[in-house]
Amino acid sequence: MDKRVLALLVGAAVFLWAVRAPATQLPRVVAGVPFVLDYLRGMWPPDFGILPRLAVPLRETVQMAVTGICLSSAIAVPLSFLAARETSPAGAAYAAARGLIGFARAVPTLLWAILFVSMVGLGPLAGVFAITMHCIGSLGKHFSESIEAMHPRVVDVLEAMCVDGATSTQALFYGLVPALTPLFLGYIIYYFEWALRTSTILGLVGAGGLGLQLTTTIRLFKRRETAAVVLLILGMVALADLGSRVIRHRVLKQTV
């Protein structure tokens, strides 16, 4: 049997299995649509009078993203050199770095946030730690893969530097790091955008920021205020997306 046909049949079987579950049966889904529409009608018009009270949570959200991405980048860069076969000084260091990166990525960000809320209490600090842990794993993985996928010309330059008398450390800092910097910056900018979006979600588990305000308005059934918070989050994410695309475009042009 053709692999594509087999994949299609497996996908259809999984879909049929899923829709047969009591919570996802089509009649129940259709019956829930009027309740969704009624909730959306209650959100209009948004109560923008709440915006002055959202200034501090908005600042907390941005600060969580900035602090988390800066801390994780500072840790992920040296960790990635240990996690790349070409630059790791020993097998034990390579295995330990790979294990740490894999562990940090394996735990979902929301679970990290819940764990840190239980450790340090409610507030943005738990969100900063959660973002930092996840980005250490994600950035470390991308950075180490970038090192292992170096262009042959870069490898030739490094070998030539060593032949000319440069030490391995000098070749690393003056040859490899400049070649990798644009790629690293591109990943950092992308994950800053991710961290900004995620920081709004982490507030749902008590990590502060706009997510906490969103949860509060939902629990108090203040639908118009909920709409204002949602629109503010959408605007913030849209601006971050636009800014990150512009910066990434300029950074990647340097690699051409």
CATH number at residue 60: 1.10.3720.10
Distance in angstroms (rounded) separating the CA atoms of residues 64 and 76? 18
In the predicted model, is pLDDT for residue 226 greater than 80? yes
Predicted confidence at residue 255, as pLDDT, reads 54
Average pLDDT in the chain: 81
Residue 61: inside a domain: yes
Q: Which domain holds residue 244?
A: 51-150+181-253
Is 153 or 104 the better-scoring residue by pLDDT? 104
Predicted confidence at residue 167, as pLDDT, reads 62
Residue 45: inside a domain: no
Distance in angstroms (rounded) separating the CA atoms of residues 101 and 76? 9
Phi, psi dihedrals of residue 167, rounded to the nearest 5°: -75, 170
Residue 209: inside a domain: yes
Q: Are 200 and 233 in contact (CB under 8 A)?
A: yes
Distance in angstroms (rounded) separating the CA atoms of residues 129 and 169? 31
Residue 169: inside a domain: no
Distance in angstroms (rounded) separating the CA atoms of residues 187 and 65? 14
In the predicted model, is pLDDT for residue 209 greater than 70? yes
In the predicted model, is pLDDT for residue 46 greater than 90? no
Residue 170: inside a domain: no
Distance in angstroms (rounded) separating the CA atoms of residues 25 and 31? 10
Predicted confidence at residue 70, as pLDDT, reads 93
Residue 32: inside a domain: no
| pLDDT classification of 239: cutoffs 50, 70, 90 | confident
Residue 27: inside a domain: no
Rounded mean pLDDT, 8-30: 73
Q: What is the pLDDT of residues 53-90, one digit of tens each?
A: 889 888 888 888 899 999 999 999 888 888 887 777 77
Residue 114: inside a domain: yes
Number of H helices, E strands in the chain: 11, 0
Looking at the structure of the chain, the number of domains it has is 1
Share of the chain above pLDDT 70, in %: 81
In the predicted model, is pLDDT for residue 116 greater than 60? yes
